[in-house]
Amino acid sequence: MHWLSLFRDPYHWLLTLSWRDFFLAISLAYMGLNLLFGLAYYLGGDCIANAKPGVFSDYFFFSVQTLASIGYGAMYPGNFYANSLVTFESLIGLTGIALITGLAFARFSKPTARVMFSNVAVISNHDDQPTLMFRAANQRVNQILEAKIHCYLFRDEITREGKHMRRIHDLKLERDQTPNFKLSWTIMHKIDERSPIYGLATEELQRANTTLTVIISGIDETLSQTVHARHVYSHADILCGKQFADIIFHADNGDRFIDYRYFHDVE
């Protein structure tokens, strides 16, 4: 399905690729064009001066020189057919360089957040109240200002009319925003009578195909642009009767520090 989006929306497809896949796609397109034009020159016979007749590599490398606007001058078009191909290929080369430059700039300028979420969410007592908790941490050295978090619970339900539907519930959080998100943040949802998971056991969460979607947004203080991060917990990632291991420790001089080696640990 990911490759199908290339034909439906190539611009968005190229923006969402990883850098490795982006360079791979550009390289394949570059090689494909040179092979295509090299074949066209090859089929034209002795149309390129100083190219060895019948040697495809010479025609291929002449295409590389033309497409990249290198023009060493050792080989050059020798007739109208070759000049026509060079004219067309030069236009494609100039357009391609402009498009690739624009795409690379758009990818570099796209704001992103590096937020780490705990591998699991836990349900345990907090202030004598059953509470759903998970962790988030900012992996960059700067801050995310005016950070806000939204939690949505998805589960299968049956309406009073007996119809099956996938319903979305908003989870009320103890604190859903912070003025500066710099280090670690433990997000909590109290499971009281108003909670959609009140009184549900682990088996019931699994039977309802329950998932928890978390979205954090805020302003990156370096870029002054809004950034987003999203994470999904399946029902298997929600552990009952567990609590997170402590990640805040005290140094010998009395200073406090966070040890992220225990970020995902539960006990």
135-183 pLDDT, tens per residue?
A: 999 888 888 999 999 999 999 888 888 888 998 999 999 999 999 888 8
Which residues form the domain of 46?
5-109
Counting residues of the chain whose pLDDT is more than 70, the rounded percentage is: 97
pLDDT band (50, 70, 90) for residue 5? low
The yes-or-no verdict on residue 70 having pLDDT over 80 is: yes
Is the Cβ–Cβ distance between 239 and 122 less than 8 Å? yes
Is the Cβ–Cβ distance between 218 and 111 less than 8 Å? no
The yes-or-no verdict on residue 4 having pLDDT over 70 is: no
For residues 125 and 80, membership in a common domain is answered with no
Q: Please provide the average confidence, as pLDDT, over all residues in the chain.
A: 89
Is the Cβ–Cβ distance between 144 and 180 less than 8 Å? yes
Instruction: Identify which has the larger pLDDT, 110 or 6.
Output: 110
Is the Cβ–Cβ distance between 182 and 258 less than 8 Å? no
Compute the average pLDDT of residues 232-247.
90
The yes-or-no verdict on residue 256 having pLDDT over 80 is: no
187-239 pLDDT, tens per residue?
A: 999 999 999 888 887 788 888 899 999 999 999 888 888 999 999 999 999 99
For residues 102 and 123, membership in a common domain is answered with no
The yes-or-no verdict on residue 1 having pLDDT over 50 is: no
Q: Of 62-71, 118-127, 198-207, where does mean pLDDT reach its minimum?
A: 198-207
For residues 92 and 173, membership in a common domain is answered with no
For residues 57 and 95, membership in a common domain is answered with yes
For residues 76 and 155, membership in a common domain is answered with no
Q: Phi and psi dihedrals of 29, rounded to 5?
A: -65, -40
For residues 159 and 252, membership in a common domain is answered with yes
Domain final residue pick, 75, 109, 143 = 109
Q: How many domains does the chain have?
A: 2
**CATH code where residue 222 lies:** 2.60.40.1400
Compute the average pLDDT of residues 49-68.
92
Counting residues of the chain whose pLDDT is more than 90, the rounded percentage is: 51
Domain final residue pick, 49, 84, 109 = 109
In whole angstroms, give the CA distance from residue 257 to residue 117. 19
For residues 10 and 62, membership in a common domain is answered with yes
